[in-house]
Chains A and B, each alone.
Chain A
Amino acid sequence: MSMTTETHDPATNDLAATESEAAAAVHDEDHLDHPTPKQYWLIALILAVVTAIEVAVPYVDALRGAPSVFLLIFLGAVKFAMVVALFMHLRFDKPLYRNFFLVGLVGAIAMFVIVLLTFRAL
Chain B
Amino acid sequence: MTTTAEPQVIRSPGPRGIWGWITTVDHKRIGLLYGVSAGVFFFIGGLEALLVRTQLFGPNLEVLSADAYNQLFTMHGLTMVFLVVMPIAAAFTNYFLPILIGARDVAFPRLNAFSYWLFLFSGLLIYSSFVMGGSPDGAWVGYAPLSTQLTEVVRMDYWTIGLQLLGVASIAASANFIATVFTMRAPGMTMLRMPVFAWMSLVVAFLLIFSLPSVAIGLFQLFLDRNFGGLFYAAAAGGDPLLWQHLFWIFGHPEVYVLILPAMGIVSEVLPTFARKPLFGYPFVVFSGAAIGFIGFGVWSHHMFTSGMGPLAEAGFGVATMIIAVPTGVKIFNWIGTIWGGKITFNTPMLFSVAFIAMFVIGGLSGVTHAVVPSDTQQHDTYYVVAHFHYVLFGGAIFGYVSGVYYWFPKWTGRVLNETLGKIHFWLALIGFNLTFGPMHILGLNGMPRRTYRYPEGLGWANWNSVATIGAYLILVAFLVFVWNIVRTHFLAKGERVGNDPWDGRTLEWTIPSPPPVHNFDEVPVVHALDDFWHQKYAEDEEGRAVRMPALAGGAVTVDKATGGGDEGEHLDIHMPSPSYYPVLSSLGLVILGAGLIYLPWGFIAVGVGTAVTMWGLFGWSLEPITKEH
- Interface residue A16 (Cβ < 8 Å from any Cβ of B): no
Segment with Cβ contacts to B, from A26-34, A50-58, A111-119: A111-119
Q: Which of B174-192 contact A (CB under 8 A)?
A: 178, 182
Contact check, A111 vs B309: say whether CB atoms are below 8 A apart. Answer: no
Closest to B307 in A: A118
Q: Which of A90-122 contact B (CB under 8 A)?
A: 96, 100, 103-104, 107, 111, 114-115, 117-119
Find chain B residues with CB under 8 A from A104 CB. 210
- Interface residue B297 (Cβ < 8 Å from any Cβ of A): yes
- Interface residue B497 (Cβ < 8 Å from any Cβ of A): no
Find chain A residues with CB under 8 A from B313 CB. 114, 117-118
CA distance A104 to B309 in the complex (A): 25
The SS class assigned to the B binding surface is: helix
* CB-CB under 8 A for A107 and B301, given A96-B182, A118-B313, A119-B242: no
CA distance A117 to B297 in the complex (A): 16
Please give the distance in Å from A1's CB to the nearest CB on chain B.
12
Contact check, B250 vs A118: say whether CB atoms are below 8 A apart. Answer: no
* CB-CB under 8 A for A103 and B210, given A118-B313, A119-B240: yes
- Interface residue B246 (Cβ < 8 Å from any Cβ of A): yes
Contact check, B210 vs A115: say whether CB atoms are below 8 A apart. Answer: no
- Interface residue B310 (Cβ < 8 Å from any Cβ of A): yes
CA distance A119 to B309 in the complex (A): 8
Q: Which of B298-352 contact A (CB under 8 A)?
A: 301, 309-310, 313
Q: How many residues of A contact B (CB 8 A)?
A: 11
Find chain A residues with CB under 8 A from B297 CB. 107, 111
* CB-CB under 8 A for A118 and B301, given A96-B182, A111-B250: yes
Contact check, B210 vs A107: say whether CB atoms are below 8 A apart. Answer: yes
CA distance A2 to B225 in the complex (A): 48
Closest to A117 in B: B313
Closest to B309 in A: A118
Question: CB within 8 A of B246: which of A103, A107, A118?
Answer: A118
Find chain B residues with CB under 8 A from A115 CB. 243, 246, 250
CA distance A114 to B314 in the complex (A): 12
Closest to A103 in B: B210
Please give the distance in Å from B310's CB to the nearest CB on chain A.
7
CA distance A96 to B183 in the complex (A): 11
Find chain A residues with CB under 8 A from B182 CB. 96
Find chain A residues with CB under 8 A from B301 CB. 118
Q: Which of B403-417 contact A (CB under 8 A)?
A: none
CA distance A100 to B309 in the complex (A): 31
Find chain B residues with CB under 8 A from A119 CB. 240, 242-243
CA distance A96 to B178 in the complex (A): 11
Q: Which residues in A have some Cβ–Cβ distance to B below 8 Å?
A: 96, 100, 103-104, 107, 111, 114-115, 117-119
Query: 6 pairs across A/B with beta carbons < 8 Å?
Result: A103-B210, A111-B250, A115-B243, A115-B250, A118-B246, A118-B301
What are the 7 tightest A-B residue pairs by CB atom distance, in nearest-first order? Answer: A118-B313, A115-B246, A118-B309, A111-B250, A107-B210, A104-B210, A107-B297
Beyond the given pairs A96-B182, A118-B310, 12 more chain A to chain B contacts, judged by CB atoms under 8 angstroms and listed by A's residue number, are: A100-B178, A103-B210, A107-B297, A111-B214, A111-B297, A115-B246, A115-B250, A118-B246, A118-B309, A118-B313, A119-B240, A119-B242
